[in-house]
């Protein structure tokens, strides 16, 4: 894929995800149920049983939804027949899963992973604007005053991290439009 396209994919993701903000909100668990509706129940139960209680479980649910949706997309590509590509794809889920289950540490961990994965300054600034729209600013800092504010930010950061890393993988394997369409469907929306 051209160097130009590899630079615009995260921008396209952020722009496309902003368009979905006006749609009816859905929780990751509801959207995951829809994605798994025609799959064996034991697959869904195995995914759900892997979720932690509390804060970690919020990110786990979003991460599971992202993984299932992007796995379905991956299975539709020629790369799914290549064992090296399958191994590379499987590493993504492990690398983006939130490890922390503590309130303040979780957001910092996701921020650090976003930076580690090479989010551009422009995309990071656009993402910060989107986060700021979730809650009022107090002295220029995002004020997370309720548990719902925190959960919304956590889901959105997990989604952005997953989309960034899977996006880097998919920019080599598929048409960008298909990736953006999947991302629109799974993006957490403001309740």
- pLDDT score of 84: 94
Q: Is 108 inside a domain boundary?
A: yes
Q: Is 120 inside a domain boundary?
A: yes
Cα 112 from Cα 126, distance rounded (Å): 17
Tokens 């959105």, located at residue? 156
Within 10 Å of residue 65's Cβ, how many Cβ atoms? 30
- pLDDT score of 160: 92
How many domains, in total, are found in the chain?
A: 1
Q: Is 169 inside a domain boundary?
A: yes
Look up the pTM and report it: 0.73
Domain extent at residue 45: 3-186
Query: What single DSSP character describes residue 105?
Result: H
Q: Is 73 inside a domain boundary?
A: yes
DSSP 3-45: HHHHHHHHHHHHHHHHHGGGSPP--HHHHHHHHHTTS-HHHHH
Per residue of the chain (191 residues), give pLDDT as tens: 444 444 444 444 443 333 333 333 456 777 777 777 888 888 888 777 778 777 778 888 888 888 888 998 999 888 899 999 999 999 998 899 888 877 778 888 999 999 999 999 998 888 888 877 766 545 455 555 677 777 888 888 999 999 999 998 888 877 678 888 888 888 887 55
Q: Is 191 inside a domain boundary?
A: no
Q: Is 16 inside a domain boundary?
A: yes
- pLDDT score of 128: 84
Is 54 within 8 Å of 90 (Cβ atoms)?
no
- pLDDT score of 115: 92
- pLDDT score of 81: 93
Q: Could you report how far apart the first and last alpha carbons of the chain are, in Å?
A: 36
Q: Is 11 inside a domain boundary?
A: yes
Token pair belonging to 6? 């590899």
Token pair belonging to 76? 């539709």
Q: Is 115 inside a domain boundary?
A: yes
């Amino acid at each position: 894929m051209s160097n130009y396209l590899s630079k615009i994919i995260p921008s396209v993701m952020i722009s496309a995800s902003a368009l979905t903000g006006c749609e009816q909100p859905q929780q990751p668990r509801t959207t995951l149920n829809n994605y798994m509706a025609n799959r064996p129940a034991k697959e869904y139960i195995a995914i759900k049983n892997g979720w932690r209680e509390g804060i970690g479980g919020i990110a786990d649910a979003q991460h599971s939804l992202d993984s299932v949706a992007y796995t379905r997309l991956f299975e539709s590509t020629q790369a799914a027949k290549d064992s090296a590509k399958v191994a590379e794809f499987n590493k993504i889920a492990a690398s983006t899963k939130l490890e922390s289950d503590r309130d303040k540490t979780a957001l910092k961990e996701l921020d650090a992973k976003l930076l580690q994965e090479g989010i551009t300054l422009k995309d990071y600034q656009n993402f910060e604007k989107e986060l700021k729209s979730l809650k009022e600013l107090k002295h220029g800092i995002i004020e997370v005053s309720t548990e719902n504010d925190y959960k919304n930010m956590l889901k959105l950061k997990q989604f952005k991290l997953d989309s960034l890393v899977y996006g880097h993988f998919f920019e080599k394997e598929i048409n960008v439009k298909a990736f953006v369409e999947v991302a629109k469907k799974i993006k957490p929306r403001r309740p």
